[in-house]
């Protein structure tokens, strides 16, 4: 193995050789550092590949069980927690959030529904007052501020990506109903019984398996100014209050915090399994996690629009379901417009396509500059569907 050559291990069904080739090409031409990709078809793993380096210095090879922070790809498993509760009749998605979290009714939010939290339509894409990274680690402080603040727009009318706040909003409903934070609920109800190597946060005993997050080069001043000029106050607050990145994601404080929108840690195999629950209409490896009806509800479209946070950067409309984003006519999650998934800041992705019976997990530590549709992810998705 040479220092800079792509180094790939694992297995790949010959039918999906194109996925392996795209994965290798990510290292050769798209700046990949370390990564893994897994694909399941009808519940069977057909691609399970990993390679590259787990650290910036290229001293630790990426291993079969290397864990990495997957950023907003965590939002899928977090949404799954709330859908489990709805499936059991413990939460009504059409009920006011305040029915479960009374303090939330403050500042004109008494009519915000649970489904608005899941679909980024609650109007709470960011806090109005300055909020530091250290304060983000304080669950009680953050949910208290969210309960007290007023919405940025009329809830339910359109989406505005709740990049940092999503996990606190959805997670606090989970906590009010079950007494458990999402990390504990997910472990008890899903990842533990299914044997899935994924956690919200990361325990100290697993640090040795964790890849080092490496930030993409920062754009020059003129480019940064151009990007900032295109962002609305809502978008600036959603994405920058506080600013988080690779420098935070590798710290003990980040790993110890409850950040159900941001700090899920797992393998590509684990991401493919969690999104595979939805691709398999609620069942995985002999375990029934959701009823078929509840699994289908996850992709219930909430209205296509120009997202108030993502719209300027993407230059196109999108549609959120109840926790994940629909592939839509652009094919963000493949050619089936009703396939769905979630991207993570820097490039990671989870994908579910019930019609094709397919799930995909892609994780990496070399963070690109894209919030969604990183070229590495797109290459893998295109290769997958080309092989079906």
Which residue did the predictor score with more confidence, 248 or 219? Answer: 248
φ/ψ (deg, to 5) at 43: 85, -5
CA-CA distance, 181 to 74, in Å (whole number)? 14
Confirm if 168 and 260 have CB atoms less than 8 A apart. yes
Using 50, 70 and 90 to split pLDDT, how confident is the model at 228? low
To the nearest whole number, what is the mean pLDDT of the chain?
Answer: 95
Q: Give backbone dihedrals phi and psi of 24, rounded to 5 degrees, phi first.
A: -65, -40
Q: Is it the case that residue 220 has pLDDT exceeding 80?
A: no
Give dist(CA 365, CA 54) in Å, integer: 7
Distances 6 to 21, 153, 283 between C-alpha atoms, Å: 11, 47, 35
Cα end-to-end distance, the chain, whole Å: 32
pLDDT tens for residues 91-117?
Answer: 999 999 999 999 999 999 999 999 999
Render pLDDT for 163-178 as a digit per residue (tens, 0 to 9).
999 999 999 999 999 9
pLDDT value of residue 2: 45
The pTM is what?
Answer: 0.96
Residues belonging to the active site: 72
Q: What is the pLDDT of residue 223?
A: 55
Rounded to an integer, the average pLDDT of 28-47 is 97
Question: Which pLDDT value is given to residue 305?
Answer: 96
d(CA 342, CA 201): 18
Could you read off the pLDDT of 51-105 as tens digits, one per residue?
999 999 999 999 999 999 999 999 999 999 999 999 999 999 999 999 999 999 9
| Per-residue model confidence (pLDDT) at position 216 | 78
Kindly state the average pLDDT of the residues 371-381: 95
The CATH number of domain 8-73+209-387, selected from 3.40.50.300, 3.40.190.10, 3.40.710.10, 3.40.50.2300:
3.40.710.10
Q: Which helix (H) or strand (E) holds 157?
A: none
| In the chain, where the domains are located | 8-73+209-387, 79-182
How sure is the predictor about 232, in pLDDT bands with cuts at 50, 70 and 90?
confident
Which of 345, 344, 342 lies closest to 327 in space, CA to CA?
342
pLDDT in tens, 297-309: 999 999 999 999 9
pLDDT tens-place string over residues 124-146: 999 999 999 999 999 999 999 99
pLDDT for the residue 3: 47
Q: How far is the C-alpha of 216 from the C-alpha of 291, rounded, in Å? A: 41
Q: Are 238 and 261 in contact (CB under 8 A)?
A: no
């Amino acid at each position: 193995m040479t220092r800079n050559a792509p180094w790939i291990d694992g297995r790949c069904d010959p039918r999906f050789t194109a996925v392996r080739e795209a994965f290798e090409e990510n290292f050769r031409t798209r700046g990949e550092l370390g990564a893994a990709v897994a694909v399941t078809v009808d519940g069977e793993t057909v691609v399970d590949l990993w390679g590259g380096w787990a650290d910036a210095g290229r001293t630790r090879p990426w291993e079969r069980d290397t864990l990495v922070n997957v950023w907003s790809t965590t939002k899928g498993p977090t949404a799954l927690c709330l859908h489990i509760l709805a499936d059991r009749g413990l939460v009504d998605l059409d009920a006011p959030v305040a029915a479960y979290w009374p303090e939330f009714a403050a500042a004109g939010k008494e009519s915000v529904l649970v489904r608005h939290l899941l679909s980024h339509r609650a109007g709470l894409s960011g806090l109005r007052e300055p909020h530091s990274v250290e304060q983000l680690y304080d669950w009680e402080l953050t949910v208290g501020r969210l309960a007290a603040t007023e919405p940025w727009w009329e809830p339910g009318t359109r989406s505005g990506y709740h990049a940092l706040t999503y996990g606190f909003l959805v997670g606090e409903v989970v906590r009010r109903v079950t007494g458990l934070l999402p990390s504990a609920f997910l472990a008890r109800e899903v990842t533990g019984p299914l044997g899935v190597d994924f956690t919200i946060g990361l325990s100290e005993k697993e640090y040795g398996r964790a890849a080092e997050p490496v930030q993409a080069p920062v754009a020059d001043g003129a480019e940064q100014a151009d990007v900032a000029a295109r962002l609305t106050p809502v978008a600036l607050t959603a994405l920058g209050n506080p600013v988080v990145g690779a420098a935070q994601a590798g710290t003990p404080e980040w790993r110890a915090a409850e950040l159900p929108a941001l700090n899920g840690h797992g393998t590509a195999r684990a991401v493919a399994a969690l999104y595979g629950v939805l691709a398999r209409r609620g069942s995985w490896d002999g375990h029934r996690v959701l009823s078929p009806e509840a699994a289908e509800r996850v992709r219930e479209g909430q209205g296509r629009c120009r997202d108030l946070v993502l719209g300027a950067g993407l230059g196109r409309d999108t549609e959120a379901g109840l926790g994940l984003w629909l592939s839509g006519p652009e094919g963000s999650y493949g050619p089936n417009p009703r396939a769905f998934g979630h991207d993570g800041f820097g490039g990671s992705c989870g994908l579910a396509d019930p019609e094709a019976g397919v799930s995909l997990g892609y994780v990496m530590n070399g963070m690109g500059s894209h919030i969604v549709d990183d070229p590495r992810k797109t290459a893998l998705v295109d290769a997958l569907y080309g092989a079906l």
